[in-house]
Amino acid sequence: MTARLLDGRAVAAQIREELRPRVAALAATGRPPGLAVVRVGDDPASLSYVTAKRRACAELGIISSEWHLPASASRAEILATVERLNEDPSVDGILVQLPLPDSSIEPDVIEVIRPEKDVDGFHPVNVGRMMLGLPAFLPCTPHGIVQLLRRSGISTVGAHVVIVGRSQIVGRPLAHLLSRKGPDADATVTLCHTRTRELAAHTRLADIVVAAAGRPGTLRGDMIRDGAVVVDVGVNRVPDPARPCGYRLVGDADFESVASRAAAITPVPGGVGPMTIAMLLANTVAAAEWRGGAAR
């Protein structure tokens, strides 16, 4: 079998086109949507993600600003930056790019973001509202995966989805979204992680495998059944002296062997990544439309 490629770039472009009239309507009121991005330190991957997010904002007419703090910035300085943005009426959405150089302060930083500006959907209020099935900002990568499957015509209803990776940003919220009731969900979900025994025994049972472990080679072709759908969330830089930048991006799946057995697979790059950005744009537009209200 040669896998069909699930084109995240094309689906993300479709979502951006759907957002365009909503951005235009906001701009016509004199206040286009505004996103503030906080970046701490000089992690090259974070810089490239933030650059891609800001470029996507500019293309759509969302006004973005970047607040770059040195890696040495204190907890108090980072919190004060977020608090200023909370008070700034031109800012509809606030995104603090993770990981922070000191990851131990991430929960405090996330909690200080006003829930109605939390376009990442990481604040405990939004996580709690999502878990309860109340309107909330949904986290961008899991929501992007749900949208990519739906818009690619892959139903999750009644399907067995095996997720490899239990992060707060991807695996855990995705398990929740896919196991909810509803036409874009209704899956039976298995959440695997680093302590799972016999990982391949689980992934071989899956109709849909989501590789979100953050490690290349997590999923190989012999670990899936023929005709499975594979969503690869990994973005890993591996050294490649043949390239001017010295690296190339690979996912968590071993693309060749997995694509030879799968019915469909998301490429890296060009699969989940563009969908994450599209959902960030959607959340920012929604935040601007709900300006001043609660996240609902």
- Give the strand pairing for 264-265 and 4-5: parallel
Length of the chain: 296
Report the phi/psi class of residue 214: left, alpha or beta, with left for phi > 0 and alpha for psi in -120 to 50: left
**Least spacing, CB of residue 276 vs ligand GUN, in Å:** 6
Dist CA 228 CA 154 (whole Å):
11
- Total residues in contact with ligand GUN, by rule CB under 6 A: 9
C-alpha closest to that of 130 among 165, 173, 90, 166: 173
**Least spacing, CB of residue 37 vs ligand GUN, in Å:** 8
Our finding on whether 140 is near ligand GUN (CB under 6 A) is yes
Is 53 a known active-site residue? yes
Instruction: Give the residue with the Cβ less far from ligand GUN, 140 or 230.
Output: 140
Dist CA 284 CA 35 (whole Å):
7
Instruction: Give the residue with the Cβ less far from ligand GUN, 116 or 120.
Output: 120
**Least spacing, CB of residue 230 vs ligand GUN, in Å:** 20
Site string for ligand GUN, 98-117 (x = CB under 6 A): x-------------------
**Least spacing, CB of residue 106 vs ligand GUN, in Å:** 10
The active-site residue, picked from 92, 97, 207, 232, is: 97
DSSP per-residue string spanning 136-159 = -PPPHHHHHHHHHHHHTT---TT-
Dist CA 292 CA 87 (whole Å):
11
Instruction: Give the residue with the Cβ less far from ligand GUN, 130 or 169.
Output: 169
Interaction residues for ligand GUN, span 187-216 (CB under 6 A): none
Q: How many CB atoms lie within 10 A of CB 89?
A: 9
**Least spacing, CB of residue 45 vs ligand GUN, in Å:** 8
Instruction: Give the residue with the Cβ less far from ligand GUN, 174 or 206.
Output: 174
- Options 95-103, 150-158, 239-247, 253-261: segment touching ligand GUN (CB under 6 A): 95-103
Packed helices 272-289 and 44-60: angle between N→C axes, nearest 10 degrees: 50
Our finding on whether 96 is near ligand GUN (CB under 6 A) is yes
C-alpha closest to that of 281 among 14, 83, 38: 14
Instruction: Give the residue with the Cβ less far from ligand GUN, 169 or 249.
Output: 169
Instruction: Give the residue with the Cβ less far from ligand GUN, 98 or 205.
Output: 98
Q: How many CB atoms lie within 10 A of CB 102?
A: 15
Q: Residue 124, preceding bond cis, omega within 30 degrees?
A: no
Our finding on whether 141 is near ligand GUN (CB under 6 A) is yes
C-alpha closest to that of 273 among 91, 34, 7: 7
Residues with Cβ within 8 Å of 116's Cβ and at least 6 positions away in sequence, in order, are 287, 290, 292, 293, 294, 295
The active-site residue, picked from 92, 117, 118, 120, is: 120
Is 168 a known active-site residue? no
- Options 25-33, 96-104, 203-211, 284-292: segment touching ligand GUN (CB under 6 A): 96-104
Our finding on whether 169 is near ligand GUN (CB under 6 A) is yes
**Least spacing, CB of residue 190 vs ligand GUN, in Å:** 23
Our finding on whether 276 is near ligand GUN (CB under 6 A) is yes
Is 120 a known active-site residue? yes
Reported for 68-73, long-range contacts at CB under 8 A and 24+ positions apart, including other chains, are 68/39, 68/40, 69/38, 69/39, 69/40, 69/41, 70/40, 70/41, 71/40, 71/41, 71/42, 71/101, 73/40
Q: Under the rule (CB under 6 A), what is the footprint of ligand GUN?
A: 95-98, 120, 140-141, 169, 276
Active site residues: 53, 97, 120
